[in-house]
Amino acid sequence: MGSTSLEMASRFVDRSPFNRWLGMSVLEAGEQGIVIGIPWREELVSSPEARSTHGGILASLVDAAGDYAVALQVGHPVPTMDMHVDYHRVATPGSLRAEGQVVHLGKRFATAQARVLDMDGRLIASGRGLYLLRSPQAAGSQDTSAAGGPGA
């Protein structure tokens, strides 16, 4: 994994105000995929009793890891068309890392998968997303069908 990929991925990550709020950083980046991380912060909590990390935060990590794995291959972040997330275990307070990998890179669409792990390497969540690689029309269309992700 080269420093160029890491630098490129870091630029993509840093552009997003939500990523910056999450404190997201790129830990590894290369041909094999990407690893991103976020530190703990109190606002990530879903249930105050369980002290669990909110499912929307875990979904954000799945989306981002998948998106930037694709971005490393196409040179820019890509709009997310849809996403599926499985929650395996409660994530209690602590930093999280997410590993993203491209499953299929087509001409117009890409599918990527991601795993979210806690500090002890336990699998917290996993999932996959479908990403739009390029548009037949000019960007900024009202009908992207691809509105949510890091590259939107």
Query: What's the rounded Cα separation, in Å, for the pair 11 and 151?
Result: 12
Among 29, 57, 70, 72, binds a second copy (CB under 8 A): 57
Minimum distance from residue 14 beta carbon to a second copy (Å): 10
CB 118 within 8 Å of CB 124: yes
Residue ranges in 4-33 that form contacts with a second copy under rule CB under 8 A: 15-18, 20-21
Q: Quick one: which H or E segment has residue 71?
A: helix 55-74
CB 118 within 8 Å of CB 39: no
Region of 3-11, 27-35, 93-101, 133-141 interacting with a second copy (CB under 8 A) = 133-141
Closest CA to 30 of 100, 91, 115: 100
Residue ranges in 69-108 that form contacts with a second copy under rule CB under 8 A: 77, 79-91, 103-104, 106-108
Query: What's the rounded Cα separation, in Å, for the pair 34 and 29?
Result: 4
Task: Give contact residues for a second copy (rule: CB under 8 A).
Answer: 15-18, 20-21, 42-48, 50, 52-61, 63-64, 77, 79-91, 103-104, 106-109, 111, 113, 115, 123-126, 128, 130, 136-137, 140-152
